[in-house]
Amino acid sequence: MNIIIPIKQVPETSNVKMDEETGTMVRDGVESIVNPLDLYAIETGIQLKEEFGGKITVITMGPPSAEKALREAISMGCDDGILLSGREFAGSDTWATSYALSQVIREAGKFDLILAGERATDGDTGQVGPGIASFLGLPLATYTSKIVELTKDSITVERLIEEGYETLRLPLPALLTVVKEISYPRLPTLRGKQRAKKLKLKQWSSEDIEIDRANLGLKGSPTRVVKITRPKVTRNGEFIKVVDEESLETAVERLVKFLQEKEIV
């Protein structure tokens, strides 16, 4: 069972910043982590490897610092990692990212299953997993909450839908995007960290894979952010300072009147 897991390095949720001129996310100088929802895909892959054997390859696209995310996945139990990096990929939207990652997967060799997180916490679109499936022509199950059965030729899963659950059987190879209900991510082990530190990762650029450079980066991205606005919270509260019995009575009367105006009392 050869499993591929695309992951993403994302900013800490509280540190997300946007460049208002380009409409892209600012990543320089921002503390980054493995996308939390990708950890569930990693755990699911490790469990399948423990049961059926095989190999797990994690891939990511980003700056050289994204190597840290790959090493964290390897310290959890994945086997190998591929970093797709280069300035030509900067500013890629979900379409360009899906295209680039699909070309990496083609180059990486034969696989049986691709597991991806439901979405990334920075963009929150949930489009890259399905996009990869589309470029590779793979059967797809989104919002997968349980793997029911895995055979040599097919995989049966349960997926979350608005009305409850839906059971699907997909021929292999296939791609699944998974939700939190599918597993509970394990912590990296000391032995895993030691192995991850020593392992030589593959680092590819657009020169190392068959890819159309016109479809890369900001220029190759059909999505355009034309305007960024921030929500404004306006509160025109009334403050009545209570210093004596008279001001207390005034404050109570004003509060009662306010509640009556809002039809609360």
Collapse the DSSP code of 213 into the 3-class scheme (helix H, G, I; strand E, B; otherwise coil) and give the result.
helix
Angle at 129 between CA 202 and CA 45, to 5 degrees: 65
pLDDT at residue 19 in the model: 63
Half-sphere exposure of 178 (CA within 13 A, CB side): 29
Tokens of 67: 């190597």
CATH of 2-215, one of 3.30.930.10, 3.30.420.40, 3.40.50.620, 3.40.50.1820: 3.40.50.620
**What residue type is assigned to position 35 of the chain?**
N
Dihedral sign, CA of 246, 249, 250, 251? positive
pLDDT at residue 124 in the model: 82
Q: Which residues of the chain have pLDDT under 50?
A: none
Collapse the DSSP code of 260 into the 3-class scheme (helix H, G, I; strand E, B; otherwise coil) and give the result.
helix
pLDDT at residue 230 in the model: 75
pLDDT at residue 112 in the model: 96
DSSP H helical ranges for the chain: 38-52, 67-76, 94-108, 128-136, 190-198, 245-261
- Tell me phi and psi for residue 175, to 5 degrees: -125, 135
Tokens of 152: 């040599």
pLDDT at residue 27 in the model: 57
pLDDT at residue 181 in the model: 94
Q: How far is CA 199 from each of CA 7, 72, 74, 82, rounded to the nearest angstrom?
A: 18, 12, 9, 11
What pTM did the predictor assign?
0.80
Contact 8, 62 (CB under 8 A): yes
d(CA 68, CA 187): 15
pLDDT at residue 13 in the model: 62
